[in-house]
Amino acid sequence: MKSIPTTGFKTAFEEDVYKGLTSYPKYLLSKYIYDEKGDKLFQQIMDMPEYYLTNCEMGILQEYTAQIADSFTATGGFDLIELGAGDGKKTKVLLKHLNEQNYEFTYLPIDISEHVLKVLEASVKKEMPGIDIKPQQGTYFKTLENLADFSKRKKVILVLGSNIGNLLHENAIEFLRNIQQAMAPEDMLFMGFDQKKNPQKILDAYNDPHGITEAFNKNLLVRINYELGGNFNPDTFKHWETYDPETGTAKSFLVSKLDQEVFIEAFNLKVHFDAWESIHTEISQKYDEKIVEWLAGEAGLKIETRFADSEDCFRNYIFRKL
């Protein structure tokens, strides 16, 4: 099924692709969907009527803007550190208010995609030229190692869009614990959690009739082709979504429609797929209040307050250190 690479891996992308496609069952990490093309596809997903998360969280930020901003305030100003900033569409609701009300702060958007950070920085400088913005490119876990360095004044750590839902509970606790360890007593974490709801509504959000989510997931194969010399034919894979209402876990798969072999030149790898064999590409975890409280407690955090949209589909929580 596989050949051992003759040389070491040049990038984390190479190593993770090799590990994922030589495992059983096969998997690929969703963070690698986000190249320039993947970023654009995700912007399209967020604009779909079926993808309720964007409008729900946007509604929260618009309704409670002043209340949320007031919780950020601190003598001497604060650092607003956003993990997984994306295009900043929702964050700009807060940024505009903070800017108009002359809050003293620095905005540090962090994202794995250098392309999306450049777009965000340009748009913030154009729309709100008074804001001090310092983009940081990198993964969550790499960035968290440096969070403790921001210790001269209050840190407000933003994680919007239920990005934590891309992590299994065990990894989510580790993620939260790493944030907690980087927090001083006056610091706070503002984080979104998509709530459990009608299972059909969740399935519709990740299995849209327009084929955008399918193209988004298949971008993993496209990226392997052009960066690692793969010969995947994306048309021979079917996008498939599942949701388990008991665990609250939505999972995305790419399923091979036929018995086939794929070659990846970068590490001389031949990968065989049986007909209907799957590649797991993404999870999107959904939550209820008990799970959020449990995750926070395990990480040494406590819920200070919460904000919900009108239908309670989505909640944003403010956490402090225990």
Do residues 44 and 70 share a domain?
no
Confidence of residue 5 (pLDDT cuts 50, 70, 90): low
> Which DSSP helix (H) or strand (E) runs through 316?
strand 314-321
Domain count, the chain: 2
Q: What is the DSSP letter of 287?
A: B
Residue 92 domain-assigned (yes or no): yes
Residue 72 · residue 78 · CB < 8 Å: yes
CA distances from 221 to 40, 56, 135, 269, 283 (A): 16, 31, 28, 14, 17
Residue 57 domain-assigned (yes or no): no
Q: Which CATH number belongs to the domain containing residue 105 in this structure?
A: 3.40.50.150
Do residues 80 and 154 share a domain?
yes
CB-side exposure of 101: number of CA atoms within 13 Å? 16
The per-residue pLDDT for 152 is 82
Q: For residue 84, is pLDDT > 80?
A: yes
The three-state (H, E, C) secondary structure of 138-204, written as one string: CCHHHHHHHHCCCCCCEEEEEECCCHHHHCCHHHHHHHHHHHHHHCCCCCEEEEEEEECCCHHHHHH
Average pLDDT over residues 78-98: 93
Is residue 130 packed enough to be buried (19+ CB in 10 Å), middle (13-18) or exposed (0-12)? exposed
Do residues 171 and 315 share a domain?
yes
Average pLDDT over residues 102-113: 92
Which among 206, 286, 263 is positioned nearest to 239, based on CA atoms? 206
Do residues 173 and 188 share a domain?
yes
The per-residue pLDDT for 4 is 53
Do residues 176 and 229 share a domain?
no
Do residues 205 and 279 share a domain?
yes
The per-residue pLDDT for 139 is 76
The per-residue pLDDT for 125 is 95
Per-residue pLDDT of 109-159, as tens digits, reads 998 888 889 999 999 999 999 999 999 888 766 777 777 677 789 999 999
Do residues 73 and 164 share a domain?
yes
Give the strand order in the sheet containing 278-285: 26-27, 278-285, 249-256, 237-244
Do residues 204 and 233 share a domain?
yes
Residue 56 domain-assigned (yes or no): no
Do residues 174 and 250 share a domain?
no
Parent domain of 41: 12-48+200-285
Confidence of residue 306 (pLDDT cuts 50, 70, 90): very high
Do residues 135 and 253 share a domain?
no
Do residues 114 and 42 share a domain?
no
Average pLDDT over residues 198-208: 95
Q: At 257, is the secondary structure helix, strand, or coil?
A: coil
Average pLDDT over residues 224-253: 97
The per-residue pLDDT for 190 is 98
Residue 58 domain-assigned (yes or no): no
Do residues 300 and 276 share a domain?
no
> Which DSSP helix (H) or strand (E) runs through 238?
strand 237-244
Residue 117 domain-assigned (yes or no): yes
Structure-block tokens of residue 222: 């496209």
The per-residue pLDDT for 322 is 95
Residue 279 domain-assigned (yes or no): yes
Confidence of residue 1 (pLDDT cuts 50, 70, 90): very low
Is residue 17 packed enough to be buried (19+ CB in 10 Å), middle (13-18) or exposed (0-12)? buried
Residue 3 domain-assigned (yes or no): no
Residue 272 domain-assigned (yes or no): yes
